[in-house]
Amino acid sequence: MNKIQQTIFSAWMLGGLLALGTTQSLQAAALVQVEVFPPEVNLETLRDRQSLIVQATYADGVTKDVTEQAKFVPENPALVKLQDSTLYPAQDGKTTIRVQFEGNTVEVPVSVKKAKQDRPISFRLDVMPVFTKSGCNMGSCHGAARGKDGFRLSLFGFDPEGDHFRLTREINGRRINLALPEESLLMEKAIGSVPHTGGKLFGKESELYTEIVRWLSMGAPNDSGEVAELVGLELYPLEAVMQGRGTTQDLTVRATYSDGTNRDVTHLSYFMTNNENSVAVDQAGIMQAGERGEAFVTARFMTMTIGIPIIVLPENAELEFPNLPQNNYIDELVDQKLKKLRIAPSELADDETFLRRVSIDLVGQLPTVEEYRAFIDNPAPNKRRQLIDELIERPEFVDIWVMKWSELLTVRSVRNRVSYKAMLLYNNWLKDQISNNVPVSEMVIELLSAEGSIFDNPPVNFYHVERDRLKIAENVAQVFMGMRLQCAQCHNHPFDRWTMDDYYSFAAFFSQIGRKNGEDPRETIYYNRRSGGQRHPVTNEVMKPRYLGGDLAEFENGEDYRANLAHWLASPENPYFAKNISNIAWAHFFGRGIIDEVDDVRVTNPPSNGPLLETLGEKFAESNYDFKQLVRDICNSRTYQLSTQANATNSTDETNFSKAKIRRIRAEVLLDCLDQVTKSPSKFRGLPLGARAVEIADGSTSTYFLQTFGRASRETVCSCEVKMEPNLSQALHLLNGSTVSSNIVRGKVVSDALKEKQDPKQILETIYLRALCRKPSVDEVAAFNQMLAEKGANHQQILEDIFWAVLNSREFIFNH
Amino acid sequence: MKRSGCSGFQQLAASRRDFLQVGAIGGLGLTLGNFFQMRQAQADIKDYKSVEGTAKSVISIYLPGGMAHQETFDPKPIAPIEYRGPLKAIKTNVEGVYFGEYLQKTAQIADKLTVIRSMTHGEAAHERGTHNMFTGYRPSPALKYPSMGSIVAHEFGPRKDLPPYVCIPNQPNEFAGTGYLSSSYGPFSLGSDPASKGFTVRDLSLPGGINEDRFARRRSILDTVNSHFRSREEADALDAMDSFYQRAYSMISSKDAREAFDIDKEDKKTREQYGMNQAGQRLLMARRLVESGVRFVNLTYGGWDMHQRIESGMKRWVPDLDRAFAALIQDLSQRGMLDETLVVISSEFGRTPKINPQAGRDHWPKVFSVVMAGGGIKGGMVYGSSDPTAAEPEENAVTVEDWASTVYDRLGIVADKELMAPGDRPIEIIDGGKPIKDIMV
pLDDT in tens, B61-86: 999 999 999 999 999 999 999 999 99
Q: What is the pLDDT of residues A395-450, one digit of tens each?
A: 999 999 999 999 999 999 998 889 999 999 999 999 999 999 999 999 999 999 99
Look at residue A88 in the predicted model and tell me its pLDDT: 96
Look at residue B113 in the predicted model and tell me its pLDDT: 97
Do residue B8 and residue A664 have CB atoms under 8 angstroms apart? no
| Interatomic CA distance for residues A111 and A93, integer angstroms | 6
Q: How confident is the model at residue A491 (pLDDT cuts 50, 70, 90)?
A: confident
Q: How confident is the model at residue A561 (pLDDT cuts 50, 70, 90)?
A: very high
Do residue B233 and residue A644 have CB atoms under 8 angstroms apart? yes
Do residue B228 and residue A779 have CB atoms under 8 angstroms apart? yes
The amino acid sitting at A600 is: D
Q: What does the pLDDT average to over B405-417? A: 96
A560, A454: one domain: yes
Tally of CB atoms within 10 A around A171: 12
Please indicate, yes or no, if residue A775 is contained in any of the structural domains. Answer: yes
Please indicate, yes or no, if residue A109 is contained in any of the structural domains. Answer: yes
Phi, psi of B25, deg, nearest 5? -65, -50
Do residue A732 and residue B204 have CB atoms under 8 angstroms apart? yes
Chain B residue closest to A271 (CA)? B13
Q: Is the pLDDT of residue A7 over 70?
A: no
Look at residue A494 in the predicted model and tell me its pLDDT: 67
Q: Is A418 in contact with A464 (CB distance < 8 Å)?
A: yes
A65, A135: one domain: no
A481, A552: one domain: yes
Q: What does the pLDDT average to over A73-90? A: 93
Q: Among A730, A768, A804, A727, which Cα is nearest to B216's?
A: A804
Cβ contacts of B366 on chain A, cutoff 8 Å? 144
A277, A200: one domain: no
Q: How confident is the model at residue B285 (pLDDT cuts 50, 70, 90)?
A: very high
Cβ contacts of A273 on chain B, cutoff 8 Å? 12-13
A714, A762: one domain: no
Please indicate, yes or no, if residue A360 is contained in any of the structural domains. Answer: no
Tally of CB atoms within 10 A around B52: 15
Q: Among A81, A92, A95, A83, which Cα is nearest to A41's?
A: A95
Please indicate, yes or no, if residue A735 is contained in any of the structural domains. Answer: no
* Better-predicted residue by pLDDT, A29 or A800: A800
The amino acid sitting at A28 is: A
Q: Is the pLDDT of residue A338 over 80?
A: yes
Least confident range from B245-259, B314-328, B362-376: namely: B245-259
The residue out of A157, A186, A217 marking a domain boundary is: A217
- Percent of chain B at pLDDT > 70 equals 89
Q: Give the closest-approach CA distance of A42 to chain B in angstroms.
A: 32
- Percent of chain A at pLDDT > 90 equals 80
A130, A273: one domain: no
Alpha helices (H) in A283-350, listed in sequence order: 329-341
Q: How confident is the model at residue A498 (pLDDT cuts 50, 70, 90)?
A: confident
A447, A555: one domain: yes
Q: Is the pLDDT of residue A25 over 50?
A: no
| Interatomic CA distance for residues A272 and A284, integer angstroms | 11
Q: What is the pLDDT of residues A304-319, one digit of tens each?
A: 889 999 999 998 877 8
CA angle A660, A665, A671 (to 5 degrees): 160
Cβ contacts of B122 on chain A, cutoff 8 Å? 139-140, 144
Q: How confident is the model at residue B11 (pLDDT cuts 50, 70, 90)?
A: very low
Q: Which residues contact B98 (CB under 8 A, 6 or more apart)?
A: B75, B77, B89, B90, B91, B92
Look at residue B142 in the predicted model and tell me its pLDDT: 66
A155, A113: one domain: no
Do residue A662 and residue B5 have CB atoms under 8 angstroms apart? no
How many residue pairs bridge chain A and chain B with CB atoms within 8 Å of each other? 221
Q: What does the pLDDT average to over A771-798? A: 94
Tally of CB atoms within 10 A around A573: 12
Question: What crossing angle do the helices spanning A577-590 and A610-622 adopt, rounded to 10°?
Answer: 110
Q: How confident is the model at residue B423 (pLDDT cuts 50, 70, 90)?
A: low
Do residue A810 and residue B142 have CB atoms under 8 angstroms apart? no
Q: Among A690, A644, A807, A659, which Cα is nearest to A737's?
A: A807
Please indicate, yes or no, if residue A154 is contained in any of the structural domains. Answer: yes
Q: Is the pLDDT of residue A27 over 70?
A: no
A79, A155: one domain: no
Q: What does the pLDDT average to over A44-49? A: 93
| Interatomic CA distance for residues B120 and B62, integer angstroms | 17
Give the domain range for residue A161: 123-217
Look at residue B31 in the predicted model and tell me its pLDDT: 30
Q: What does DSSP say about strands A286-289 and A279-281: parallel, antiparallel, or unpaired? A: antiparallel
* Better-predicted residue by pLDDT, A19 or A573: A573
Cβ contacts of A298 on chain B, cutoff 8 Å? 12
Look at residue A98 in the predicted model and tell me its pLDDT: 95
Q: What is the pLDDT of residues A437-480, one digit of tens each?
A: 999 999 999 999 999 999 999 999 999 999 989 999 999 999 99
Q: How confident is the model at residue B44 (pLDDT cuts 50, 70, 90)?
A: low
Q: What does the pLDDT average to over A562-588? A: 97
The residue out of A540, A568, A596 marking a domain boundary is: A568
Please indicate, yes or no, if residue A424 is contained in any of the structural domains. Answer: no
Q: Is B72 in contact with B318 (CB distance < 8 Å)?
A: yes
Cβ contacts of B37 on chain A, cutoff 8 Å? 291
In this complex, the residue of A272, A664, A780 whose CB is nearest that of residue B13 is A272
Please indicate, yes or no, if residue A33 is contained in any of the structural domains. Answer: yes
Chain A residue closest to B184 (CA)? A727
Evaluate whether ipTM surpasses 0.95: no
Q: What does the pLDDT average to over A494-500? A: 77
Q: Is the pLDDT of residue B346 over 90?
A: yes
Q: Is the pLDDT of residue A666 over 50?
A: yes
Q: What does the pLDDT average to over A8-14? A: 34
Considering the four listed CATH numbers 1.20.140, 3.30.1490, 3.30.70, 3.40.720, the one that applies to the domain covering B52-196+264-439 is 3.40.720
A97, A129: one domain: no
Mean of per-residue pLDDT scores for chain A: 92
Do residue B11 and residue A495 have CB atoms under 8 angstroms apart? yes
Residue ranges per structural domain of chain B: 52-196+264-439, 202-260
Mean of per-residue pLDDT scores for chain B: 88
Please report which helix (H) or strand (E) contains residue A734, including its range: helix A728-736
Please indicate, yes or no, if residue A331 is contained in any of the structural domains. Answer: no
A49, A194: one domain: no
Q: Among B121, B54, B136, which Cα is nearest to B416's?
A: B136
Mutate to test the interface with B, among A142, A721, A732, A803 (most CBs of B within 10 A): A732
In this complex, the residue of A736, A801, A814 whose CB is nearest that of residue B205 is A736
Mutate to test the interface with B, among A727, A751, A796 (most CBs of B within 10 A): A727
Q: What is the tally of structural domains in chain A?
A: 5
Mutate to test the interface with B, among A715, A720, A729, A773 (most CBs of B within 10 A): A729
Look at residue A2 in the predicted model and tell me its pLDDT: 41
Q: How far is CA A245 from CA A241, A274, B161, B421, in A?
A: 12, 17, 48, 21
A141, A81: one domain: no
Least confident range from A365-369, A554-558, B262-266: namely: A554-558
Chain B residue closest to A300 (CA)? B12
Q: What does the pLDDT average to over A78-103? A: 94
Look at residue A11 in the predicted model and tell me its pLDDT: 34
Do residue B186 and residue A725 have CB atoms under 8 angstroms apart? yes
In this complex, the residue of B19, B188, B203 whose CB is nearest that of residue A290 is B19
